Each structure stands twice: as structure tokens, then as C-alpha cells.
Amino acid sequence: MARQSVLPLLNRRTARGLAAAVLVPVLTLLAGAALAADEAGEVTLARGLATAHAAGAQARILGGGSRLYVGDVVTTGPRSVALLKLGDGSRITLRPDTSFQVEEYNLSATSPSAVFRLFKGGLRAVTGFMSKRNPNAVRLRTSVATIGIRGTEFDARLCGADCAEEARQRPTPAGRAGFVKGTVIAKAAGGRARAVKTGGPVYSGDSLVTGSNAYTVVLFRDQSRVTVMPNTEFRVDRLIYEESAPEAGEGFFSLVRGGLRAVSGAIGKYRRNAYQMRTAVATIGIRGTGYDLYCVGACVNPDAAATSGDGLYADANSGTIDFDGGNPLSADQPPVFIGSNGMVPVEVANMPVEITVPMPDTIDLPALPPPDPAAANPGDALMVSCYAGNCSVQTDENTVDLEAGGAAKVDLGGGPAEALPEIPAFQAEDPIFNAVDAGGELLQMFETSTATEGEECTE
């Protein structure tokens, strides 16, 4: 087997041995100096080599449960991450090769405040009650800008060639939200959620979740369209399409709950068997068509003989659809009901709810824009992406205010902050952060090699 050019981590047994033989005496000597500082929080997770260094003291190696103090500079190694939890409930995840400082941290009832500093690398933060109670209480400083944090979730990354390489590896959007009404959230495959705005990207693996008074119309790369109804979860399992090779396109989707209206595009024209809409009880195929689907309850009826109630309802508006490759339903037939896997569709008089959202082909949507150059090649810059709440990016020349779903960049050579049209995919889909959020994949990500070119400690 070829050796991978990544540094391995020591296993837990080796790490514990190191701690017992070498680290404990050192940590004991340093404990008095560390405790003299104000405590800011703790390290809840450390993978690889993570250290904290206070002025006038030696570095401390961090592990789960290590205390964090005001003035500490926390550094992660090239293949290491750390998750910090602060006294107000804020959570900060540090990427590999990051240097971050808790410069100020005051939880007083009268004037709480926090100032952090990012020297290199990147972080994702979910702020706690401090920023929610006082919108101006929390700031993150970098060499080129100060980020104001107002009850939010955001990424900040000091980028170089690493970001450009990651950006090149990220997928092209499967489509875009051509129209958004109300609150629509996209949940990435790794679990990260982001607000969807009109014109915002939708990627393979995204689940779109709509609120009770919300809906969105998504335009995909093959010109197929889906109107995602209120109270719905719709997943883009995989969409592959290039105009230069339409015969190689594939479109696989899932209706998890709620309802949708769909119109097929080029994939359905060139490879109709490569287009599928999956549900809990049947997979819908198309023959050049438009159709409605609606799930009542969990889309499955516990009574296999049921002919109404919980289950899937379907109606063809044009052309023909089929269910698991058979039982065709054309536009001149009434809607049907399917309550369980393998059930022959049963005709019903009407769909279970009145569908008021428009068919997607009746809305005038803009064409898909070309890729954003700043997202494809961010260059040497501070990149800030806001997922929830509000934050501001302030430089000596200007201030850019960001709402949920907004992003901005500042060149590391200085200059004004520049708003970006969308959150870059390499930040929104950062595998490091998504692995931490998922909670079970992080160790596996780092322990992918048995090579012995170098060593790092883990908790």
C-alpha cells in the first residue's frame, strides 16, 4: 500500500504514557502560574498537538478538560484541532495550524466583554449569552480587520495557498435558489446549517428545510426546477450535469417530509432513467414531466391496507411519472396514494392539502451565474462567513455588515472589506468543522496513515 504524506497521530495508549512520564511534572510546576490568571473556559476536545502559552510561562499541552485562561495563546499543530468552550457558553473550534488568543474576557454582570485575536489559521465560533445580551461586547481581531460579533455563528480564516487549493476541490453548486420566501435552511451532509438566500448555492448532499410560511424555487444545472413547499425537507442526493455532455447527467433527490412541485430538465430528456425522486414508500421516475408530491405524516402508513391517511400522494401535471419503474401516472389521471413499500397506487379524488405555491416553471428565474472568482480563488485574505445572527467586518477604510448567509473578504496586504455574493463553499463545507460537528468522524479523518514520518500527541 502506498504511504500517504500525512503525519500520523500517536494512539491513545502512547499519549497517556507520554502524559504520565513527561507531562505531569511539567504541568504541576506550571499550574500555579496558570491559576493566577482569570479563567475563561476549558478545552472540551483536542486532537493532535494543541498547546496554550501564557506570557512568562512555558507552553502547556492541552487535552479534554484542560483549563483556558485570559491571555492564553492556543496553538494547534498542522494535523490538530481544538474545541474550546468559554464561560458564557461560546464554542470555538480551531482548525489545524491555528494560533488564537483570549486577549480579554470579562463576565461581569455590569459590563461583560471579550476580545479574541486570530494570528493565523482559522476558526468557527458559535457565540454564547454575552454577545446576545450586549451586541458590542465581543470582538475578534486580526492583522487586517476586527470582526464584531452579535449573537452569531461565523467562520474566520486567514487564507493563503491552502484556501485556494481547498476551493479548487470543492464541488460546483448543483443549482441555486432562484426564489426564496421566508426562512429556508440548507443542511450540508456534514450537518452544518446555513440560511438560503435568493441566488444562493445548493450543493449535492444539501437538505433544504422550509419554515411554516416559507418556500423556495430551486433551479438546477440541467434546468430542472423544484418548488419546495412549506414545512418540507427536500434533499439533493446527487446532481451531475455538464452542458457539453448532457447524456452523462444524473439527478437523484429525496423528499423526506412535506411536499414539492417539480419540472424535469435536460437529464430527464437525455437519460430519464438517471433521474429519480425518492420517498419513504416509492421512487418516482419521469418521462419528461411536471408533478406534485406530498407526504402526510412520516410518508408511511402503518396499515398496509390503508387507502388514505399517512403516506405519499402524487399528481402528474404534464407528461407521465411512474413508481418504482411501473404503475405509470399521466396528467389526465386523478392523483394517487401510496401508503407502504410495494403498494399499487390507489386513485384519490384530490391531493390531501391545497397546494398554493407556484409550479416552478411559472416563475421567471435568473440564469445560473458563473462561479464567483473570489470563492474559486480567495487569494491571501481574511475570509469571514456568517451563518446566523449578524457580524461586521471593520477595517481602517470601511465596515461591511453581514447577515446570516453573508460573507466578506479583506486582503492580507490591507485595504477595504469586500462583501461577497455568497459564502464560499470551502468555508461552508469545511470538512474539519463538519467532522467536529458530526462528532464521530474527526479521529478517523486524522488517523488515515500508518506512516512514521513524524509524531504528534493526542489526548
Q: Within 13 Å of residue 306, how many CA atoms lie on the same side as its CB?
A: 18
Distance of CA 253 to the CA centre of its chain: 18
Q: Residues 315-341: pLDDT tens digits? A: 999 999 999 999 999 999 999 999 999
Query: Which triple of cell numbers denotes residue 440?
Result: 464521530
CA 69, CA 187: separation in Å to the nearest integer? 34
Do residues 401 and 163 touch, judged by C-beta distance below 8 A? no
| 269 contacts: CB under 8 Å, gap ≥ 6 | 246, 288
Which helix (H) or strand (E) covers residue 425, if one does?
helix 425-428
State the pLDDT at residue 37: 55
Residue 458 is predicted with a pLDDT of: 42
Cell numbers placing 359: 409550479
pLDDT at 44: 93
Q: Are 246 and 222 in contact (CB under 8 A)?
A: yes
Task: Provide CB contacts within 8 A for 273, sequence distance 6+.
Answer: 285
Beta-strand runs (E) in 107-232: 113-120, 122-126, 138-141, 146-158, 175-181, 184-187, 193-195, 201-202, 207-210, 215-220, 225-228
Q: What is the pLDDT of residues 105-122, one digit of tens each?
A: 998 878 888 999 999 999
Helix (H, G, I), strand (E, B), or coil: what is residue 382? strand
CA nearest neighbour of 316 among 328, 330, 326? 330
In this prediction, residue 5 carries a pLDDT of 33
Q: What is the distance between the alpha carbons of residues 107 and 125, in angstroms, rounded to a whole number? A: 18
What's the Cα-to-Cα distance from 123 to each of 59, 100, 118, rounded to whole Å?
21, 9, 8
d(CA 419, CA 395): 13
- Identify the pLDDT of residue 456: 41
Q: Are 85 and 110 in contact (CB under 8 A)?
A: no
pLDDT at 437: 54
CB 372 within 8 A of CB 420: yes
pLDDT of residue 367: 66
Q: Which three cell numbers stand for residue 360?
A: 416552478
For the structural domain made of 173-362, what CATH number should be given? 2.60.120.1440
| Nearest residue to 195 (alpha-carbon basis) of 37, 342, 44, 385 | 385
What is the C-alpha separation between 372 and 428, in angstroms, rounded?
15
Closest CA to 357 of 227, 203, 250, 182: 227
Give the predicted TM-score (pTM) of the model. 0.62
Distance CA 215, CA 182 (A): 7
Distance CA 404, CA 152 (A): 8
Type of residue found at 59: A
User: How much is the pLDDT for 425?
Assistant: 80
d(CA 151, CA 141): 17
Domain ranges of the chain: 12-165+380-446, 173-362
Q: Which residue has the cell 422550509?
A: 210
Same fold, 12-165+380-446 and 173-362: yes
Which residues of the chain fall below pLDDT 50? 1-36, 438-459
Using DSSP's 3-state secondary structure scheme, residue 282 falls into coil
- Is residue 52 within 8 A of residue 80, CB to CB? The reply is no
3-state SS class at 247: helix
| Nearest CA-CA partner of 145 in 389, 420, 410 | 410
Contact in structure between 443 and 83 (CB atoms under 8 Å): no
> Residue 128: what residue type?
G
Domain 12-165+380-446 has CATH 3.30.300.180: no
d(CA 148, CA 131): 9
How many whole angstroms separate alpha carbon 206 and alpha carbon 190? 9
pLDDT value at position 244? Answer: 87
